[in-house]
Amino acid sequence: MTPRTIGKAQRRGLAEEAADRIREAIFSGLFAPGAALREVELAEALDVSRGSVREGLAMLEHEGLLQSAWHRGTRVIDLTVTDIEEVYSVRAALERLATCKAAERVTAAELDRLDSTVAAMGEQVTARSEGHRLLALDIDFHDQIYHAAGNRRLLDAWQGLRSQVYLFQLSRIRLGDEDYRSRLVAEHLEIAALLRNRDTETLARVAEDHVHSARRALVGRMAGELTGRR
């Protein structure tokens, strides 16, 4: 008897490898928003050819992390309020759909995994870490929902926003926000509970609100930094 699904062991090319490394470098702050990424530099640093780097950069551009123009190279995206509004608007629409579809199809095992993720988040509320772990769990929680929704196109659309969301939230971490953490966990707890009850009606509203809540927390912080004290 063959297993129903096998862990995908698909081999990856150098381009994907390069994309991963560059993405990490951006998240680590090595390339700040607005910085130019030169193909030759990256090719030498990663010890691959320019072609592979080029392909990797194209992937990151489709993730929205980079912007490129004809013969003018690629740069890391800026973090303007407009960009944030755009990303979170679309994300809210996707999240609404994903959560509803997930409610119809989610399995018991997936529900358990969601619970344990929320539990792990709960531990991070009081932890004195900088919040990177909490952020990773946050994204992971939503990844699980998109997977549970079982819609390839929906997942693709989400992956076109995921990295941007990560980058945005990362900037929020730097700005420091204490009391937001507990509310974050509470919201995820609510979503997980509603999923278990398969309360589609309420989920549509709550999922959208959850995203808008994150957006407000982010935009508020950014506005405070730009205009206010420092």
The alpha carbon of 84 is separated from its chain's Cα centroid by a whole number of angstroms, namely 13
Q: State which of residues 8, 71, 229, 230 lies at the interface with DNA (CB under 7 A).
A: 71
Q: Which of 230, 229, 125, 131 is nearest to 176 (CA)?
A: 131
Give the C-alpha distances (Å, rounded to integers) separating 9 from 20, 40, 147.
Answer: 17, 31, 18
Q: State which of residues 20, 21, 59, 68 lies at the interface with DNA (CB under 7 A).
A: 68
**Site map 101..140 versus DNA, x via CB under 7 A:** ----------------------------------------
Closer residue to a second copy (CB): 134 or 206? 206
Least spacing, CB of residue 36 vs DNA, in Å: 7
Q: Which of 210, 185, 211 is nearest to 123 (CA)?
A: 185
Q: Which of 214, 230, 207 is nearest to 168 (CA)?
A: 214
Written as one letter, the residue type at 23 is R
The neighbour count for residue 228, using CB atoms within 10 Å, is 8
The answer to the question of residue 90 lying near a second copy (CB under 8 A) is yes
Q: State which of residues 19, 22, 26, 37 lies at the interface with DNA (CB under 7 A).
A: 37
The answer to the question of residue 154 lying near a second copy (CB under 8 A) is yes
Q: Pick the stretch among 64-72, 131-139, 153-161, 192-200 that binds DNA (CB under 7 A).
A: 64-72
Which partner, DNA, a second copy, none, binds residue 213 by CB below 5 to 8 Å per kind?
none
Q: Which of 220, 219, 209 is nearest to 183 (CA)?
A: 209
Q: State which of residues 1, 4, 7, 70 lies at the interface with a second copy (CB under 8 A).
A: 70
The answer to the question of residue 209 lying near DNA (CB under 7 A) is no
Q: Among positive and negative, which fits the CA dihedral 60, 63, 69, 75?
A: negative
Q: Are 115 and 195 in contact (CB under 8 A)?
A: no
The answer to the question of residue 10 lying near a second copy (CB under 8 A) is yes
Determine the Cα–Cα distance for residues 203 and 149; give it in Å rounded to an integer. 13
Determine the Cα–Cα distance for residues 167 and 32; give it in Å rounded to an integer. 10
Per CB under 7 A, residues contacting DNA are 11, 13-15, 36-40, 48-52, 54-55, 68, 70-74
Per CB under 8 A, residues contacting a second copy are 10-13, 51, 55, 58, 62, 64, 69-71, 86-87, 89-90, 92-94, 96-97, 101, 151-154, 156-157, 160-161, 164
